[in-house]
């Protein structure tokens, strides 16, 4: 059994190191993943790992800590380093306090707990004079919460282009220790509608970009209604489409010459994100006519859905260890970045997604212990 007190102490220590995604951080002192990556690198090095900080962008490194196993067969565990914003939190986001049989603070459940769990289990095996059966690559990736999964995409290219072995992957997310075998992918559209400014007393002399944007929104809503009527082909469900951001206008007496929108399309298994993007561009431009409109792919990339059959051997292995049935989820994860890696992939981790991104974030200690016991079996039975 895992030393629960030591595990809780490790989770609390990680929460106390701010690593807010820079695209969401209002305070530069809390932004970025480097401090957390360096802290984890030191801990992994002390346990005998081969450690590398692989810079991805703007001094934001991925962590790669390799623990040599008894066999060369490799298990990659991806845990994202960044957290969401803290401005809406109602208590100290970084105190890592322990009360009510929970560890509190930003990142406690999403998803620093897995770093602590993996390091704790590997430390206990080392104390017993043992190595994990598989070679374990514990990877901390940047920019999962916002920024197009650039950390995971960087790692995926590295694994595809080099000799870094990978035979199975666990992507850490709060799943209540259930093995998650599927979720939707995504396409984001950055839409810019161009009009022509005029005095609002003479609207006929202008071209109202907001009015054109309204027609686009109406067309997108109609497409969402169509999608909602389609049958689901898997437990992941149907694709969806929605507008989530809009901005335009400069003054109350000026016909607006510009309006910007963001629309997100969730991709169901079997759907082609490239074809969907092309179809949506046609829909948007048709609705905006005769206005000029630019449509760009958000973050320069799109992601097909992640889906593995629940009968997959690795999924069933984790289900057996955790005593939880395989599930699908509605949120996305770094798993989308690893689509080209033809290896078994599963989302797995302690705690509930319902506690993630909240004004008060926490993880149950019982969940930490449960996940640690599963990882101990993974490291000794694969």
User: What's the rounded Cα separation, in Å, for the pair 365 and 170?
Assistant: 21
Question: Which residues does 60 contact at the CB level (< 8 Å), separation at least 6?
Answer: 22, 32, 33, 34, 142, 143, 151
266-282 residue pLDDT tens: 999 999 999 999 999 99
Closest CA to 16 of 6, 3, 30: 30
pLDDT of residue 2: 83
Mean residue pLDDT of the chain comes to 96
Classify 185-300 by CATH class. alpha beta
pLDDT at 1 exceeding the cut of 80: no
pLDDT at 121 exceeding the cut of 80: yes
User: What's the rounded Cα separation, in Å, for the pair 81 and 317?
Assistant: 27
Q: Which helix (H) or strand (E) holds 137?
A: strand 135-141
pLDDT-derived band at 284 (thresholds 50, 70, 90) equals very high
Question: Which residues does 87 contact at the CB level (< 8 Å), separation at least 6?
Answer: 26
pLDDT of residue 185: 97
Architecture of the domain made up of 4-183+305-381: 3-Layer(aba) Sandwich (3.40)
pLDDT at 163 exceeding the cut of 80: no
pLDDT of residue 138: 98
pLDDT-derived band at 117 (thresholds 50, 70, 90) equals very high
pLDDT-derived band at 153 (thresholds 50, 70, 90) equals very high
pLDDT-derived band at 382 (thresholds 50, 70, 90) equals confident
pLDDT at 11 exceeding the cut of 80: yes
Once rounded to an integer, what is the mean pLDDT over residues 39-60? 96
What percent of the chain has pLDDT above 90?
97
CB 213 within 8 A of CB 246: yes
Give whole-number Cα distances, 162 to 18, 154, 235, 334, in Å.
32, 12, 35, 20
pTM of the model: 0.92
Q: Is 344 left (phi over 0), alpha (psi -120 to 50) or beta?
A: beta
Q: Which helix (H) or strand (E) holds 294?
A: strand 292-297
Q: Return the domain boundaries, the chain.
A: 4-183+305-381, 185-300
């Amino acid at each position: 059994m895992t030393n629960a007190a030591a595990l809780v102490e490790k989770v609390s220590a990680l929460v106390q190191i701010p690593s807010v995604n820079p695209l969401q951080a209002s305070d530069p002192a809390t932004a970025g993943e480097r401090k957390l990556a360096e802290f984890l690198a030191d801990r992994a090095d002390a346990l005998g790992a081969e450690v590398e900080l692989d810079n991805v962008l703007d001094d934001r490194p991925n962590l790669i800590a390799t623990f040599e196993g008894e066999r060369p067969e490799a298990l990659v565990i991806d845990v994202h380093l960044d957290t969401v914003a803290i401005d809406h939190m109602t208590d100290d986001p970084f105190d890592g306090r322990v009360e009510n049989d929970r560890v509190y603070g930003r990142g406690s459940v999403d998803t620093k707990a897995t770093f602590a769990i993996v390091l704790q289990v590997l430390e206990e095996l080392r104390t017993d004079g043992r190595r994990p059966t598989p070679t374990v690559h514990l990877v901390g990736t940047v920019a999962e919460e916002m920024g197009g999964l650039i950390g995971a995409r960087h790692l995926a290219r590295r694994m595809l282009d080099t000799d870094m072995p990978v035979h199975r992957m666990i992507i850490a997310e709060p799943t209540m220790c259930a093995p998650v075998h599927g979720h939707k992918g995504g396409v984001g559209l950055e839409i810019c509608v161009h009009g022509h400014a005029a005095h609002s007393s003479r609207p006929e002399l202008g071209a109202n970009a907001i009015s054109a944007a309204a027609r686009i929104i109406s067309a997108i809503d109609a497409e969402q209604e169509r999608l909602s009527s389609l049958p689901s082909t898997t437990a992941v469900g149907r694709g969806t489409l929605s507008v989530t951001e809009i901005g335009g206008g400069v003054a109350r007496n000026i016909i607006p010459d510009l309006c910007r929108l963001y629309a997100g399309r969730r991709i169901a298994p079997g759907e082609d994100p490239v074809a969907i993007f092309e179809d949506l561009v046609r829909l948007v431009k048709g609705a905006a006519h005769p206005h000029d409109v630019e449509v760009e792919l958000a973050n320069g990339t799109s992601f097909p859905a992640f889906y593995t059959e629940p009968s997959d051997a690795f999924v069933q292995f984790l289900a057996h260890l955790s005593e939880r049935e395989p599930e699908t989820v509605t949120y996305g994860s770094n798993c989308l970045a690893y689509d080209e890696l033809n290896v078994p992939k599963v989302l797995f981790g302690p705690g509930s997604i319902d506690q993630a991104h909240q004004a008060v974030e926490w993880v149950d200690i019982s969940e930490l212990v449960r996940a640690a016991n599963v990882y101990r079996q993974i490291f000794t039975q694969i």
